[in-house]
Structure 1
Amino acid sequence: MLPTTDQRLAAREPDGKASLAFLQHWEHLLLLHWKVDPQLIQDTLPPGLHVDLAEDSAWLSIVPFVMNWARPRRLPALPLLSHFLELNVRTYVYDDNGVPGVWFYSLDCSSGPAVWIARKFFKLPYFQARMKAAITDDVHYTCRRADRYGGAPYGSYRLSVFRYGGQGQIRIPEPDTLPFFLLERYYFYAWDDGKLRRGQVAHSPYRYQEADVATFDTIPLCLDDLPLPSTPPDAKHYVDKVKVDVYGLQ
């Protein structure tokens, strides 16, 4: 059974099962989403996770953004750790108890220390990348992964390029809509030595716009051995900024 609306809304509130670990600001988020065959996604998931569906489809998303003021609880912002770029590839899932969340296939990051911390303490598939973002009237964002964990140098992967901004009315996702399904995600899952674990983030609901995308790239999907879409994104969202609390793994 898919999660109910009440279960999706309940995920917004911290469940009290883990301690607050990090404070972060996520800024200039582009969220590109494609419909995908559900069985294809289910075949990539670890035991205990199930593909979540909207419009009878699974969904894959590419999400580049700027991370600012990331810091451990009770500590100030730190050089190389607090301001960096990140790009994730994700899908939408729920566990055996119906708790909705996201499953990350990869998270590219421009900060080496942040990559180490995320792999060590959150068991997430972070990768070192060479990344830039020029922010003027729009965002010009580039990413080239350096797979330190597989030995590939920066030059082994093609450059991914995104140019984007927001357009139109600013909205808050309404329950039982596609933006709510794609944006209102407060749990993430990780696979840790044969065990499924879960972390939580807390923030106010996204204030989103439709994204105006001049350039996008699907290379991140290719790097994760996922199918390349033959069509433009089925949904595109832009979020200017949001403050986020990150809790430890359960």
Structure 2
Amino acid sequence: MAKRATAAPEPITAEPPVRPRPAPLGVALNDVTFLHWPIDPARVGPLLPPGTEPDTYDGETYIGLVAFRMRSYGEFLETNVRVYSVDENGRRGIVFLSMECDRLPWVLAARAGGLPYAWSRMSLVRDVHRLTYTSLRHRPGPSTRGNRIRIRVGSPIEPTPFEHFLTARWRLHLRVLDRTVTAPLFHDRWPLHAAELLDLDDQLVTATGLPAPTDAPASVLYAPSVHGRFGVARPVRGVG
């Protein structure tokens, strides 16, 4: 089970924090689609790194399915399954449970750093305001693990505190060898749009060990682009 945080969670901030230094890895995220469903925090806790626990909003935590184009030493597609964490110092973050990517060198380098990447065949097709993302993992491994997301992008919105909770995340939590570490992430404020989910066929959530969502998402959002940088990962204090 995840260790309970000893400090109150930090405030949710829509604006990015001060840029971390050093911040060696620059990234651009484009055509970002966020799907979120509520899930019992007790189901998420065992999947988190030691020294973290599920972050909650009005007593519930959320699982996210997020698809996008990424640019960093080239451009590629990615879809991740993620949950939300808070560490013993009160720092809110993201824990990635799976990360699909169609660029093998990136997959290999990121897996060496402790991130749960899988090499997949992926596509993104745009038809005016409709976007369709597809993913299917390469072998070895079950070839049926993939998904298809189709959305219609709507107008820009002024996000609510709940939408900031889901999207304004400024660090990662992950397990590297025998330590839990946190890596800061700085990027522009999310330019969020309303979106409508038109179709979803997904096996990625269940591949993490979590139950498949059975209801419509609690939140569907889209962002055209942000630019940012990752800082250096450091151990979460007191976790060995």
- Answer whether TM exceeds 0.5 for this pair: yes
Contact 1:14 1:200 in 2 (8 A): no
Contact 2:150 2:198 in 1 (8 A): yes
Contact 1:146 1:157 in 2 (8 A): no
Deviations 1:38-93 (A, max 9, x none): 1111122121011100121110000011113x13xxxxxxxxxx110000000011
Contact 2:49 2:173 in 1 (8 A): no
Asked if 1:131 corresponds to 2:115, the answer is: no
The 1-side partners of 2:200 and 2:233 are apart by: 32
Q: Which amino acid aligns with 2:134?
A: T
Contact 2:68 2:79 in 1 (8 A): yes
Alignment of 1:73-222 (within 5 A): 82-121=74-113, 123-137=114-128, 138-146=130-138, 151-152=140-141, 156-171=143-158, 173=159, 177-222=161-206
Match of 2:238 in 1: none
Asked if 1:13 corresponds to 2:2, the answer is: no
What is the number of equivalent residue pairs in this alignment?
227
The 2-side partners of 1:217 and 1:201 are apart by: 30
In the superposition, the TM-score normalised over structure 2's length comes to 0.88
Q: Gaps spanning 5+ residues in structure 1: where?
A: 72-81
What's the offset of the Cα at 1:146? 2.4
**Aligned with 2:9 (options 3, 8, 23):** 3
| Structure 1 counterpart SS, 2:24 | strand
| Structure 2 counterpart SS, 1:124 | coil
Residues 159, 102 of structure 1: alpha-carbon distance in 2 compared, 3 angstrom cutoff: closer
The 1-side partners of 2:229 and 2:25 are apart by: 6
Match of 1:30 in 2: 33
In the superposition, the TM-score normalised over structure 1's length comes to 0.85
Identity %: 26
Contact 1:11 1:187 in 2 (8 A): no
Contact 1:200 1:249 in 2 (8 A): yes
Identify which range, 20-29 or 85-94, moves more after superposition: 20-29
What's the offset of the Cα at 1:11? 8.6
| Structure 2 counterpart SS, 1:132 | strand
Deviations 1:172-214 (A, max 9, x none): x45xx10010010010011011200111111121010111221
Match of 1:59 in 2: 62
| Over 2 Å off, 4+ runs | 8-12, 168-171
| Structure 2 counterpart SS, 1:46 | coil
Asked if 1:233 corresponds to 2:239, the answer is: no
Contact 1:93 1:101 in 2 (8 A): yes
For the aligned residues, what is the CA RMSD? 1.9
The 2-side partners of 1:15 and 1:98 are apart by: 19
Q: Which amino acid aligns with 1:91?
A: V
Residues 146, 88 of structure 1: alpha-carbon distance in 2 compared, 3 angstrom cutoff: same
Q: Which amino acid aligns with 1:52?
A: D
The 2-side partners of 1:101 and 1:32 are apart by: 17
Q: Which amino acid aligns with 2:13?
A: L
